[in-house]
Structures are given as structure tokens and as C-alpha cells.
Amino acid sequence: MDINTQNKVRVRFAPSPTGHFHIGGARVALNNFLFARHNNGKFILRIEDTDPERSKKEFEKEIYESLRWLGIKWDEGPVSFENDNQKVGEYGPYRQSERREIYKKYLQKLLDEKKAYWCYCTKEELEAQKNAMIADGLIPKYPGHCRNLTNPPLNKKPQTIRFVMPETKVEFKDLIRGKLVFDTTQFGDIVIAKDLESPLYNFAAVVDDFEMKITHVIRGEDHISNTPKQILLQRALGFPELIYAHLPLILNPDRSKLSKRFAEVSLLSYKEEGYLPEALINFLILLGWHPKDDKEIFSLEELIKEFDLNRVQKAGAIFNEEKLNWINSKYIKNLDLNELLIKVKPFFLKENIIASDDFILKILKIEKERMKTLKDIISLSKFFFELEDYNPKILIWKNGTLEKTKEILEKLYNTLQLLNESDFEKTMLFNKLTEIINLGNYSRGEVFWPLRVALSGRESSPDPTEIAEILGKEKSLERIKIAINKLK
């Protein structure tokens, strides 16, 4: 479905910088971004930092850094996609903390029109009102105590500004969930600001969506109960209604609430773990979105072309870590070795492993297929740099014996010792091993297995001829000797 509006599509991603930027936020941002691009619209980044205690600059920076890493480019925002020192867009400021004058104007308007009022109730009084309602068998809500005060009560300070909540049924059509109806009788007069300078989320968001000419609100299902409140605020302020789409919750494979390990880990930790941004994007969009055919790997360009909110499911989206790893490994396989080299180098650096590009390239050539993440190359290749101690028992192939294994390793040592350094190459080595097998009447496993373990110290590793080629003659012989000694 292409959105057929006269107005240009304008969507926003409106995170609060009150904690790490998570996978959930990235998913919402991505859906907005794709929707905007698909419809030739604009994607706006708005920082909802009205809570001065909880909002932190470092979290705001993390939002920018994460979106930049993912390649989710915003068109308008407090800073540009390219440059932190440059604002972008004509509807700014895009930080709510810098928009207090604007909110004040609209708060005053609601107060003047008696659609909002000052509440003087203290915390203790609110608590008492609540308990009284519970005692009367009612569902507690603010009982409207200060709604019709003609004069401010003596010796009392105004505490908050409350919205006169119309008691009605609010209906809207959600692009994902279809027609939804909310009964507002239980909402009570909600607090929309602490004072004229300090609006709360629902109010500030409504004002900004209007002022920034937002056409569609795409956000997580956790916000669905805010939508009727926001619609009523829009009506009270005389703003046009928006179109809504609420993305399904992200769940564990057993359909329980997404575990903290995924929900609360910062998005940038996926970078540190060696996920490719393209793979993560691909994974995130498949959370709840079904492409037309069974195709699973999409470039960003393809996603922009095919994106369609109509194909987002209502039911919770399952976060499947294995799928993420599978997608990531696909993207790794699709990289050519030089591209992969650039991407893995920081991981070697971080581990203080010194290796030449040539050497890393050789390793990548034989380990690429086994990599699920970029970081995997570190554990997969560790044995090239350093042979770890291992149990001599693992040198013995199936039901072989210690003596026979030793005999074979000695033969290997003696044969390979005669080769030139330049003969330490896969095919040549393979031929030599085949000779040993034929002469000694051994099975392939009897020869390849102990050699592989001797060279890598591991039960699972690439082919021994490939390892030997990378290690070179001297190191390979040294490791075979170590294995022989272990069997003594």
C-alpha cells in the first residue's frame, strides 16, 4: 500500500535519552525510516528530553552514534546525520528541552479555554483520594478535585496542570492493528505538565507532532494506551488527527517478554560483538514484517522498495538469536576477503594481536565460512598465534592407539622435514600426506586427524594442510614435535 496523501509523508522517531539505545528503539527508527523513504517522505529525529533529571547528553550521543552505525539517516534533527555541529531541518529546535516557549503557549491556551486547569492537590492528598476510591470499590483515578475551582485555594501551591479528559469513546484506525476503540472514562484528568515550562510526554509529543507537521506516528505497541490521550489532546488544541501504526512487541521464542539480555543491552554492543549493521537491519525488519516471498536477505535499497506496513503482523514478533547469527553469517560470507579484512582488523587490535594483513587474509580465507560474527575470527584463529595446552588423548583418532598415533606423527615429522619452505603449500602437503597413507596402509583419519590436532591443539579446526600452509614449515614441525612429546 502506498500512502495516498496530498501532504508529504513526515514521520518521526522520538527517543528519550534516558538510557542506553536498545534494539527496540532501533527497530522503531528503522520502520519509520523505511516508511519515509518508501513514500518519498521525510524522517525526523526528535529528542524527547523534557525530563531534566533522567535525560543525559551521553545517551543522546549514543542515539546518534547507533543510528549512524546502522545507516539510518535522518533528514531533520538536532544535529545532522553527518555532523554533530550542524542542525538540520526547518521545524526545529528538535530537542524538546529547547522548545519550552512553544509548549507554554499551548498550555496557556488550554488553561484559558478551561480545557486544562491547575491542580493543587499534594502527593498526600492524591494518595488519600485514591484510597477513598478504592474503599468505595471504584477503580482509582484522579477524581477531578480541582477541576472547577473558581479561586486558587488559600496557602496552597499549584502542583501540576491537568487536562479535562472528555469521557468518551475514541476510535482510530491503526495501520497495523485495524480499527481500535478506547473508552476514556477511566483515564481521569491526566497531568500534562508540572508547570507552564515543564510539559510531560503526552502533551509535548502532541504539540511537536503538530508543529513538525508529522503525518504518521509509527511506534511500539507499548505506546498504544497513550494514543487515545494524544488524540483527545489534539482535538482540544484543534490539531488535525494523525495516522497511527503500532508495531508488535518483541518477544522471546517462548512468547514471554523479551529477556533483559536482549532488551536492555545497548545496540552498540552488537557492533562490539561483531555484527554487521546491514545484517542487524535485515534482522530487525524481519521482526514482525513478512516479505512477499520467502526471501530473507535484503539490502537496504530492496527494503525501501518493498517496505509495507500492511504486511506487519499484529502478533508479537519473536526475537530469535540463531536467526540473527544466521543472517550475520550470510552477510559475512558475501563479503570479499579484502572487505572482511578491514572489518576484522579492529577486533585483532582490541585483543592486542599483532598480525600482518597478509597473515589475516590467509586466516580469513580458511575460516570465513565458520564465522557467525566478526569477533568469531579471534577465537577461531587464536591457535595460529599461540598453541594452547591440550590433552594428548585428543590426538588419537577414533579407536587408534597411542603408539600408532605416535608412529604416524613421527613419520609425518620426518617426511615434512624434507620439504622446502616453498613446498609448504596445500596441494603439495596433501600429496605428501596421501603418500604416507598409501605407504603405511593407514586410513585418512589416522593421518589427518592427529596432524590437525597437533597443528591446532583443537578437535575442531580447518584442514591440516591449510593450517600448515599458514603456519609454515618451522612452526608446523615444532608443533608436531610437541605432539610427539606429549605422547611419550
Question: For ligand GLU, which is the closer residue by CB, 243 or 371?
Answer: 243
Q: Which does 44 bind (CB under 5 to 8 A by kind): Zn ion, ligand GLU, none?
A: none
Question: Helices in 183-257 by DSSP H: which ranges?
Answer: 201-211, 226-237
**With left for phi above 0 and alpha for psi between -120 and 50, is residue 272 left, alpha or beta?**
alpha
| CB 230 to ligand GLU: min, Å | 8
Question: For Zn ion, which is the closer residue by CB, 156 or 404?
Answer: 156
Near Zn ion by CB under 5 A: residue from 44, 47, 107, 146: 146
Of 289, 311, 314, nearest to 224 (Cα)? 314
* Interface with Zn ion in residues 120-139 (CB under 5 A): 121
Question: For Zn ion, which is the closer residue by CB, 148 or 399?
Answer: 148
Residues serving a catalytic function are 260
194 binds Zn ion (CB under 5 A): no
Q: Which stretch binds Zn ion (CB under 5 A): 74-82, 119-127, 430-438, 439-447?
A: 119-127
Tracing cell 475551582 back to the chain, one arrives at 149
Q: Which does 165 bind (CB under 5 to 8 A by kind): ligand GLU, Zn ion, none?
A: none
Q: How many CB atoms lie within 10 A of CB 275?
A: 23
What kind and span of H or E run contains 108? Answer: helix 100-112
| CB 149 to Zn ion: min, Å | 8
Amino acid at 134: I
Q: Which does 223 bind (CB under 5 to 8 A by kind): ligand GLU, Zn ion, none?
A: ligand GLU
| CB 74 to ligand GLU: min, Å | 14
26 binds Zn ion (CB under 5 A): no
Q: Give 8-48 as a DSSP string.
A: PPEEEE---SSS---HHHHHHHHHHHHHHHHTT-EEEE-B-
Q: Which residues pair with 345 in a beta bridge?
A: none
| CB 237 to Zn ion: min, Å | 22
Q: How many CA atoms lie within 13 A of 296 on its CB side?
A: 12
Q: Which stretch binds Zn ion (CB under 5 A): 11-19, 142-150, 410-418, 438-446?
A: 142-150
| CB 161 to Zn ion: min, Å | 11
SS3 content of the chain, % helix, strand, coil (to 5): 50, 10, 40
Q: Where are the beta strands (DSSP E) in 229-373?
A: 243-247, 250-251, 317-318
Question: For ligand GLU, which is the closer residue by CB, 47 or 380?
Answer: 47
Asked if the peptide bond before residue 93 counts as cis, ω within 30 degrees of 0, the response is yes
116 binds Zn ion (CB under 5 A): no
303 binds Zn ion (CB under 5 A): no
Burial of 173 (0-12, 13-18, 19+ CB in 10 A): exposed
| CB 298 to ligand GLU: min, Å | 25
Q: Which does 146 bind (CB under 5 to 8 A by kind): Zn ion, ligand GLU, none?
A: Zn ion
**What are the Cα distances from residue 453, in Å, to 366, 390, 456, 461?**
16, 9, 5, 8
Question: For ligand GLU, which is the closer residue by CB, 39 or 50?
Answer: 50
Q: Would the CA dihedral through 26, 10, 95, 117 be positive or negative?
A: negative
Q: In the β-sheet with 116-119, what is the strand arrangement from edge to edge?
A: 116-119, 160-163, 191-195, 198-199
| CB 28 to ligand GLU: min, Å | 7
Q: Would the CA dihedral through 15, 316, 304, 266 be positive or negative?
A: positive
**What are the Cα distances from residue 138, in Å, to 130, 142, 187, 209?**
9, 12, 13, 35
- By CB under 5 A, how many residues form the interface with Zn ion? 4
Q: Which stretch binds Zn ion (CB under 5 A): 21-29, 111-119, 131-139, 244-252?
A: 111-119
Question: For Zn ion, which is the closer residue by CB, 158 or 440?
Answer: 158
Chain residues in the site for ligand GLU (CB under 6 A)? 14-16, 48, 205, 219, 223
161 binds Zn ion (CB under 5 A): no
Near Zn ion by CB under 5 A: residue from 119, 280, 332, 416: 119
165 binds Zn ion (CB under 5 A): no
Site residues (vs Zn ion, CB under 5 A): 119, 121, 145-146
